[in-house]
Amino acid sequence: MSTGAKKRIMREYGECMSDTPPGMKITFDEQNMTEWEILLDGPEQSVYAGGHFKLKLTFPNEYPFKPPVVSFKTKIYHPNVSNDDKGSMCLGLLRPEEWKPPNKVVAVLRLIQTLLIEPNPDDAIEPSIANEYKENRKEFDKTAKDWVKRYAK
Amino acid sequence: MTLKRASDDIDRSEPAKKPTPDTTLHTALPATPLTTASANMDSDDEFNSSQVSDDEFMADQDSDVSIEDDSDFDIDQDDVGFESQDKDIKPTKQTYEVDFIVYSPDQIQGHQDKQVDEVSNILGQPPESTAILLRHERWNKERLIDHYMEKQEETLESAGLGETSTTNPPRLEHVKGFVCDICCEDGPDLDTFAMRCGHRFCVDCYKQYLYTKIKDEGEAARIRCPGDGCNRIVDHKSLDLLVSSDLQARYHELLMRTYVDDKENLRWCPAPNCVYAIQCGVRDKDLIRTVPTVRCDCSHFFCFGCSLNDHQPAPCALVRKWLKKCEDDSETANWISANTKECPKCHSTIEKNGGCNHMTCRKCRNEFCWMCMGVWSEHGTSWYNCNRFEEKSGHDARDAQARSRQSLERYLHYYNRFANHEQSAKLDKDIYLKTEKKMTQLQNTTGMSWIEVQFLDAASQALQQCRQTLKWTYAFAYYLARNNLTEIFEENQKDLEMAVENLSEMFEKPIDLLQGLKVEMMDKTSYCNKRRVILLNDTADNLQKGNWEFNVTL
Ligand SMILES: [Zn+2]
Ligand SMILES: [Zn+2]
Ligand SMILES: [Zn+2]
Ligand SMILES: [Zn+2]
Ligand SMILES: [Zn+2]
Ligand SMILES: [Zn+2]
């Protein structure tokens, strides 16, 4: 990773610290600043309220010319998070075609928070969950809340 | 564009006598000569009669697939404008074959240049700008001309060719108080760059951005300004100013790829390092009615619809479903395709060492079928149905557990055969290579000059191609709902399978006998190829007519 990239990550970290979006805690290892751990509270107005989600944010070597990679370490029932051990996300800013180098991590974190409040079933990574979200909202809400109880307490 | 009808062609029912295939002929047939029928061929009549109906059917197919009353098709055909080139579209030979043309990179470049010149004259723009405009409109020249005539300035602007950028060439600048929004560097001596949209970044970041787009993401014609939310395309003058010459070369190579990618009737040959592109009139919407296998000049057979290896007779949609299913079920299925099995009689371990499915246990001499483990002697009789899965009685099916077990069994039945032919094709190839090598050695040591390996090569190719087809017949059959046509299909499948096993078996004969078996081997080769053509014509014909019923939606 270039010194320019490291410099930028440090700078972004500073910005995130001074202006952390509410409901979020960011930590990282001094030895390896390319991996951030994020603790995210499920937003009050969402089905994920009361849950605490652990996320990993990884900066690729080409950062900021390529987007950071986000994965949920805590299992979550959500159309935009892959329902496997990776818990990966790939939409909006997080897609290489969409990401622009001036974009900042803080925008990514805000995007994730927004998605917890309002999932985007039209750009889903889990089509069956997206379908349930659209067609059978009650069932979706039930499972999502159930998973919060089981995995995110 | 004129298409030759199949009836214009020579009478194909006459077997070719020369063993040298016409290499310029672009058909999906293997490069294998047809020899006269052998004694065990009971289906000459069947074969010939299927030929007659093929010709009749060809007319249907032409109007369905190729000469559609579909204006975008006509435009594209016109667009491609290769009519004057030395290669003509070859007449379709069989129901399952489609027309196509193979182009070299020079021909593709020539064609792009021709279109650029044409449009350049109409718009009164220099060729360089016209190329950008055409790429911007994905080579739809009618749309470009319309847009340009309607809103000239806006069209130029959106392609990154606004007035200022054509009169003021792009240049680097030093700007007072500038801070790069990407790397956070500042300073009065910093080289910076911005296009007309004004999104300014330091030159290093701009370069790095373009490098990532071109080198890592393979983008060229539609690289956007790095500015947040800006959709302005980086024009090639700006690009030339910013990037090194080797990256420029890659950029122009990618532009050529974009041309083929943007044209619905052009596709790159997917073979590694192959530089040819193929033109074919089959469209996405046609793919439920036809399986467009094309053969590149590099001799790679692939599907024009999905770029995968030749998967006749299964339509692309079924292939996707099947591969997905195999991937999902691979763990269950893995054990079954393992390379060793037990002899069903004495339970000693038997390893498959050739492609042939006719196994003989070394220990107890039991002869059995590798696929179904049934006794081999039963495989020639009328009640042999190694290829067909017998649906169990309705009684079983009522039980949910039995149902899921049966559905797994049914899948494994087809998967086992699918995987088996894949594996056998590899083994056939191995054994052929070994045979060829041994025969050459024999020739060298004994000084004999009688060896002519051509027939072995033809046999090997036929085996490869027929097994490829057989393999996919099992994926096809898995999704096939039974109707009155499935029986004919299964008969054809069984006949091809037996023909293939008979030929495959020949390779296991001692080397010194092979020369004496030349005629028999050539007959069996030609019979295999014929059976394949019959099967594929039948499946293609019924697919065209929408006669197959599938248990999934395509
Ligand atoms: Zn910079
Ligand atoms: Zn811009
Ligand atoms: Zn090729
Ligand atoms: Zn295909
Ligand atoms: Zn045995
Ligand atoms: Zn069998």
Q: What is the DSSP string of B497-517?
A: HHHHHHHHHHTTS-HHHHGGG
Could you say which of B202, B356, B466, B528 is catalytic? Answer: B356
More confident call, A103 vs B240: A103
The proportion of chain B whose per-residue pLDDT surpasses 90, expressed as a percent, equals 34
Chosen CATH of B1-56+75-89+282-324+406-554 out of 1.20.120.1750, 1.10.10.350, 3.30.750.200, 1.10.540.10: 1.20.120.1750
Backbone angles phi, psi at B232, to 5 degrees: -65, 135
pLDDT at B66: 38
Q: CB B216 to CB A97 under 8 A?
A: no
- How large is the average pLDDT for residues B176-197? 89
More confident call, B26 vs B399: B399
- Residue A44 identity: E
Ligand found nearest the CA of B360: 5
Which residues in chain B are contacts of A7 at CB distance < 8 A? 183-184
- How large is the average pLDDT for residues B194-214? 92
Chain B residues at the A interface, defined by Cβ less than 8 Å, are: 181-185, 201, 204-205, 208-209, 212, 216-217, 224, 226-230
Which residues in chain A are contacts of B230 at CB distance < 8 A? 100
**Given a cut of 50, is residue B395 above it in pLDDT?**
no
pLDDT band for position B11 (cuts 50, 70, 90): very low
Bridge partner list, B277: B103, B268
Determine whether B298 is an active site residue: no
Q: A94-100: list long-range contacts, CB under 8 Å, 24+ apart.
A: A94/A67, A94/A68, A94/A69, A94/A70, A95/A67, A96/A66, A96/A67, A96/B217, A97/B217, A98/A67, A99/A66, A99/A67, A100/B224, A100/B226, A100/B227, A100/B228, A100/B229, A100/B230
pLDDT at B219: 84
- How large is the average pLDDT for residues B341-345? 70
The rounded distance, in Å, linking the Cα atoms of B553 and B540 is 18
Average pLDDT by stretches of 10, chain A with 153 residues = 86 86 85 90 94 94 92 94 87 86 92 93 86 94 95 90
Which residues in chain B are contacts of A101 at CB distance < 8 A? 182, 201, 205, 209, 226
Q: Where are the beta strands (DSSP E) in B284-362?
A: 293-295, 301-303, 340-342, 349-351, 358-360
More confident call, B75 vs B252: B252
Specify the range with the lowest mean pLDDT, choosing from B170-179, B252-261, B314-323, B341-350: B341-350
For B65-77, what is each residue's pLDDT tens digit? 333 333 333 334 4
pLDDT band for position B445 (cuts 50, 70, 90): low
Chain A residues at the B interface, defined by Cβ less than 8 Å, are: 4, 7-8, 11, 62, 64-66, 96-97, 100-103
Tell me the domains of chain A and their CATH numbers: 3-151 (3.10.110.10)
The rounded distance, in Å, linking the Cα atoms of B482 and B389 is 11
**Given a cut of 90, is residue B14 above it in pLDDT?**
no
pLDDT band for position B51 (cuts 50, 70, 90): very low
Ligand found nearest the CA of B295: 3
- How large is the average pLDDT for residues B242-270? 86
Secondary structure (3-state) at B353: coil
Instruction: List Cβ neighbours of B136 (8 Å cut-off, separation of 6 or more).
Output: B144, B158, B159, B221, B222, B233
CA distance A150 to chain B (A): 27
CA–centroid distance for B257 within its chain: 18
CB B73 within 8 A of CB B279: no
Specify the range with the lowest mean pLDDT, choosing from B9-23, B186-200, B341-355, B532-546: B9-23
Using CA atoms, how far residue A99 sits from A70, A104, A108, B45, B167, in Å, is 13, 10, 10, 64, 31
Q: B13-18: list long-range contacts, CB under 8 Å, 24+ apart.
A: B13/B47, B13/B48, B13/B51, B15/B526
Instruction: List Cβ neighbours of B110 (8 Å cut-off, separation of 6 or more).
Output: none
Residue list, CB under 5 A from ion ligand 4? B 303, 305-306, 316
More confident call, B512 vs B281: B281
More confident call, B445 vs A127: A127
pLDDT band for position B467 (cuts 50, 70, 90): very high
Ligand found nearest the CA of B278: 3
Ligand 1 centre and the CA of A21: distance in Å?
Answer: 26
CA distance B316 to chain A (A): 21
Secondary structure (3-state) at B456: helix
**Given a cut of 70, is residue B334 above it in pLDDT?**
no
Query: If DSSP states are collapsed to H, E and C, what string results for B375-442?
Result: EHHHHHCCCCCCCCCCCCCHHHHHCHHHHHHHHHHHHHHHHHHHHHHHHHHHHHHHHHHHHHHHHHHH
Ligand 3 centre and the CA of B273: distance in Å?
Answer: 8
Mean pLDDT of chain B: 76
CB atoms under 10 Å from CB of A117, counted, come to: 14
More confident call, B437 vs A59: A59
For B112-160, what is each residue's pLDDT tens digit? 899 999 999 999 888 878 888 898 888 889 999 999 999 998 888 777 6
Domain with CATH 3.30.40.10 in chain B: 108-262
- How large is the average pLDDT for residues B472-498? 94
The rounded distance, in Å, linking the Cα atoms of B323 and B325 is 5
User: For residue B218, what is the nearest residue in chain A, using CA coordinates?
Assistant: A97
Which residues in chain B are contacts of A4 at CB distance < 8 A? 183, 185, 204
Residue whose token pair is 């270039």: A2
For B513-554, what is each residue's pLDDT tens digit? 877 888 999 999 999 999 999 999 999 999 999 999 999 888
Bridge partner list, A72: A55
CB atoms under 10 Å from CB of B198, counted, come to: 10
pLDDT at B35: 36
| ipTM associated with this complex | 0.87
Residue B298 tokens read as: 């590099």
**Optimal mutation site among A6, A100, A104, A108, interface B, most CBs of chain B within 10 A:** A100
DSSP B147-188: HHHH-HHHHHHHTT--HHHHHS----B--TT-B-TTT--B-T
What ranges in B41-126 are assigned the alpha helix state H? Answer: 44-61, 71-80, 105-123
Instruction: Give, to the nearest 10 degrees, the angle between helix A127-135 and helix A137-151.
Output: 120
Which residues in chain A are contacts of B201 at CB distance < 8 A? 101-102
pLDDT at B380: 55
Ligand 6 centre and the CA of B220: distance in Å?
Answer: 53
Q: CB A102 to CB B209 under 8 A?
A: no
> How long a stretch of residues is chain A?
153
CB A27 within 8 A of CB A20: no
* Strands B100-103 and B277-280, sheet pairing: antiparallel
More confident call, B36 vs B467: B467
pLDDT at B342: 66
pLDDT at A76: 95
The rounded distance, in Å, linking the Cα atoms of A53 and A70 is 12
Helix H or strand E segment including A27:
strand A24-29
Chosen CATH of B108-262 out of 3.40.50.1820, 3.30.40.10, 3.30.70.360, 3.90.45.10: 3.30.40.10
- How large is the average pLDDT for residues B201-221? 90
The proportion of chain B whose per-residue pLDDT surpasses 70, expressed as a percent, equals 70
Q: CB A102 to CB B227 under 8 A?
A: yes
Specify the range with the lowest mean pLDDT, choosing from B38-52, B126-140, B433-447, B463-477: B38-52
CB B302 within 8 A of CB B294: yes
pLDDT at B353: 59
* Sign of the alpha-carbon dihedral angle for B446, B449, B455, B458: positive
| pTM for this prediction | 0.60
**Given a cut of 80, is residue B375 above it in pLDDT?**
no
CB B227 within 8 A of CB B199: yes
Ligand 2 centre and the CA of B378: distance in Å?
Answer: 74
- How large is the average pLDDT for residues B270-295? 92
